[in-house]
Structure 1
């Protein structure tokens, strides 16, 4: 299945399983984009890939040259001064260099270009992966803060209830055991709030380590993109890897032997002391002969690289389908769970209101009221957590679509 089929399937999935959304504007993701930019500046992988841009430029420049290696200069002299003494003298100066044949040069140029395109694709893919990390950690902080806020609200409510219970105990309306029970609930809520604060700090620390920002952007659900980014960074990275592997194989095929060497030499010679010196220029070409023992390992290594790149590209395409389908299901489930949590919270609030009224009239005990308060607290926590889950589900869909803030 090609990239166009993948795009068509993703568009269908979005239209069928996700509520229609307008295309994202730049302002919608400004806070998230700033966080991703900050994380990118701190990323070791980003620095490595950016440093390799100079390598890619150097490879392209080297591929433009016809010289296949370092040129060499030679100088030689022959004389019969220490033998016959007839005045024979010969001096030769030569320059030689290995050169690429036309097919070899073009193959190397294509390989350098493929390597540069693959590096560009790796940069986009690395930024997408980093955006996914930022999204996950941002919503982890948001979830932890919602839990902390609800725990603190619950604590404050129980503290107020405990004060009221103590007043009624002193007035003789309630038993002393009711006052002790209320204090126990306050202490438990205080411990829960402390634990929630620790979890919030841990989540914030992980976010700060990734981005360097002291706080997260306002956690708002991302507008869902109308279509997959074209080309998808992950799919493009896999495709350029295939192209680079094929270019490497073409270089091996074009370079069946070491490059030929062309040399130019000038010779000055004299037969006797009385004879005039003569000069001559020579051109030499050396053509290495390729052998099967030399080429076969290179060919098999290149073919292995092509097979690996093709398999990884196919796996990437399949994974994109699966991840988008999973993200769509997670959003639907999160939305359903949010609706159910809201309905439950409404019922528990009404139930608690009735129990509280009965408690104040002396018709229900404190244990019934505390149990109802606990159920109401759980329901409120569930609503807040599901709101965060919906926001995270939006982010995961955009991540699967390849949207980079």
Structure 2
């Protein structure tokens, strides 16, 4: 596929459209509804009157293998797992904390993917700009060769100048080929990441500087904060749910002591309450406490990194804007100089090496100015990414 086939799409798309398209292809996005159903099912099961599924029992006792006097006993029962006070509420709280932690992880994954889309787009824009400038440089070099050849035939220039002009043309053509490869590679990388069929129009992909929501946690910090909350909920369960859940059993017995005797019926009620022991509780409390300490220790480190990224992005935003202004001034001055030297060359007041040097300076300044404009636009995207704002 050539770059001609990677022209911008007719319908302008935004960076948000590209990020949404990339997210729709991610496994996390495809399984999000299923995972939400999982949490809903766990919550519904925990919110019931019973702590688990009932169990039915059926048993028979006789002495056919011994004396076979006709002894027979049938017993049927049902066992109901119960909740102890506070156990159900703490379990529901843990499920909610785990759900919030999962949602935060999904949001973080989406934010990170948005950063990849942003970077992939601006890498393409920079490469496409270099290709555009290289193409213009190559066109100018070809025109200069034609002009030099015409003036050589007219006797205005020595034939050796044609070699210099053709050398400059070959250099410009080689630079164009290299820029074409980079532009094609970055374009393909962006399309592969987003799944789009065509490249969006550049104008619709620019961002404006945004501000972070003061009430919302940064997408990088939110999963850690939710992980701390979930770890605390697990520690709460480990330290306060100190025994296994009790069971209430109801039974009905039918028995006959001897062959020919009448059947007698009886009912039974059984309450099973497990005892709390250190062998059960200490490992769970220790594991939950270790998980909480680990989660809490990660948060300050991540906060420092987020603060550093925000500061760096803010500085980049300010400095790239200044650099774009300076680069534009240089481009304007270089263009004026190039026009004056072009007229001087046409009048025979300067030689070809001077003309080639001024032409190269002019194209370098134009390339630098265009690149500085793109870098300033990319700095806006990087700043928005650093403060945790999606496109």
Give the structure-1-normalised TM-score.
0.87
Tell me the equivalent position of 2:136. 153
1:107 Cα deviation from its structure 2 partner = 1.2
Aligned: 1:96 with 2:82: no
Deviations 1:167-187 (A, max 9, x none): 011111111110111011111
1:139–1:388 CA contact under 8 A, matched in 2: yes
Mapped partners of 1:91, 1:81: distance in 2 = 14
Tell me the equivalent position of 1:243. 229
1:67–1:97 CA contact under 8 A, matched in 2: yes
Q: After the TM superposition, which residues 56-67 of structure 1 pair with which residues of structure 2 at under 5 Å, given as runs?
A: 56-67=39-50
Tell me the equivalent position of 1:367. 353
1:82 Cα deviation from its structure 2 partner = 5.7
Return 195-204 or 319-328, whichever deviates more.
319-328
Q: Which runs of 5+ in 1 are unaligned?
A: 1-28
Distance 1:229 1:33, change over 3 A: farther
Return 70-79 or 37-46, whichever deviates more.
70-79
2:341–2:355 CA contact under 8 A, matched in 1: yes
Distance 1:50 1:129, change over 3 A: farther
1:221–1:390 CA contact under 8 A, matched in 2: no
Q: Which of 311, 314, 317 is the equivalent residue of 1:331?
A: 317
Distance 1:30 1:246, change over 3 A: farther
Aligned: 1:223 with 2:208: yes
2:211–2:384 CA contact under 8 A, matched in 1: no
Deviations 1:334-387 (A, max 9, x none): 111111111111221222222222222222110011011111111100001011
1:84 Cα deviation from its structure 2 partner = 5.3
1:211 Cα deviation from its structure 2 partner = 0.4
Tell me the equivalent position of 1:295. 281
Mapped partners of 1:388, 1:229: distance in 2 = 29
Tell me the equivalent position of 2:151. 168
Q: Secondary structure at the match of 1:340?
A: helix
Q: Secondary structure at the match of 1:102?
A: coil
2:123–2:186 CA contact under 8 A, matched in 1: yes
Return 43-52 or 78-87, whichever deviates more.
78-87
1:69 Cα deviation from its structure 2 partner = 4.2
1:143–1:388 CA contact under 8 A, matched in 2: yes
Q: How many equivalent residue pairs?
A: 377
1:100 Cα deviation from its structure 2 partner = 3.0
1:32–1:217 CA contact under 8 A, matched in 2: no
Q: After the TM superposition, which residues 32-51 of structure 1 pair with which residues of structure 2 at under 5 Å, given as runs?
A: 32-51=15-34
1:141 Cα deviation from its structure 2 partner = 1.1
CA RMSD of aligned residues (A): 2.1
Tell me the equivalent position of 2:4. none
1:256–1:290 CA contact under 8 A, matched in 2: yes
Aligned: 1:144 with 2:130: no
Q: Which runs of 5+ in 2 are unaligned?
A: 1-11
Q: After the TM superposition, which residues 1-400 of structure 1 pair with which residues of structure 2 at under 5 Å, given as runs?
A: 31-80=14-63, 83=66, 87-213=70-196, 214-219=198-203, 220-228=205-213, 230-231=215-216, 232-273=218-259, 275-400=261-386
Mapped partners of 1:349, 1:278: distance in 2 = 112
